[in-house]
Amino acid sequence: MSSGAARLVPTPSTDYYAVAAAFASLGLSRSEVPLPGADSASDKEIWLTKDHQTAAVWIKDDLLDVSYISVHGRDAEALIEQIRSVLPTDDISRLRARMITDRDSDALIDSIYRTAVVSCAGFDPQAFALLQWTLRDPDPLIRRVALLAVSVTSWSAFSPILEEMSEQDPVDEVRDQAVRVLSILRPGDNTSAE
């Protein structure tokens, strides 16, 4: 992962100020160069190592309502470990435990979105199983949230369950959204309903 990117998701109780303090404690400095596509200074910020070869980018994702850190550069793996040592972050095991023990809808929705962000770097069998489980939730709102999370991962392994949902889910909106997500996973497939 030397030149790739990984995403770290601070735990729900961690705010921006805690992230900034953690970055400063690691000797990172905030870049004064605005990022293209950032609506305001608070949407995205780049924090650089002293040699400017590795960056931690703090991103506030308004769609999923999840803030996360994307790490890039030559020493990305080392910086990821340093960040994890000073900042509590979510991983699939913590998210799974939270989903199983806390059936409050808001907490479950937050954990589903966090699962999508944590696992975006590549296919993760545990995240896949967790999202698949939420696609079968009895609450249609939770199934719709899970569909959005699945669209973020872009994993074609979800196709069979999405096909089933698009045909058999008892709620029209869920069926329609499953068709839309299938079209995202299969961009060349024009068999989706209009």
Tell me: do 160 and 129 sit in the same domain. yes
* pLDDT at position 30 over 90: yes
85 and 97 inside one domain: no
Co-location of 9 and 65 in the same domain? yes
User: How many Cα neighbours within 13 Å face the side chain of 163?
Assistant: 8
- For residue 34, pLDDT over 70 is answered with no
Please tell me the predicted confidence (pLDDT) of residue 42. 52
Give the CATH number, domain containing residue 62.
3.30.310.10
CA 65 to chain centre: 10
Domain that holds residue 160: 92-185
Shared domain check, 31 and 59: yes
Mode of pairing for the β-strands spanning 44-48 and 66-73: unpaired
Examine residue 194 and state whether it is found in any structural domain, yes or no.
Answer: no
Specify whether 27 is located in the same domain as 70. Answer: yes
Within a domain: residue 104?
yes
Q: What's the CATH number where 98 sits?
A: 1.25.10.10
Q: pLDDT by residue (tens digit) across 112-143?
A: 999 999 998 789 999 999 999 999 999 999 99
pLDDT digits (tens, 9 = 90+) for 36-82: 555 544 588 999 999 999 999 999 998 899 999 999 999 999 999 99
For residue 193, being part of any structural domain is answered with: no
Residue 169's Cβ-count burial label (10 Å; 0-12, 13-18, 19+) is buried
**Distance separating alpha carbons of residues 134 and 137, to the nearest angstrom:** 5
Q: Which residues pair with 29 in a beta bridge?
A: 48
Query: What CA–CA distance (Å, rounded) separates 78 from 7?
Result: 14
CB 172, CB 142: distance < 8 Å: no
Same domain assignment for residues 83 and 99: no
Quick count: other Cβ atoms within 10 Å of Cβ 13? 7
* 15-40 mean pLDDT: 82
Q: What is the mean pLDDT of residues 173-185?
A: 96
Structurally, how many domains does the chain consist of? Answer: 2
Question: What's the CA gap between 150 and 74, in Å, rounded?
Answer: 30
- What pairs with residue 30 in β-bridges? 47
Nearest to 166 by CA among 184, 180, 155, 150: 180
Instruction: Tell me which of 83 and 43 has the higher pLDDT.
Output: 83
In-domain check, residue 190 = no
Percent of the chain's residues with pLDDT above 70: 88
Does 40 reside within a domain?
yes
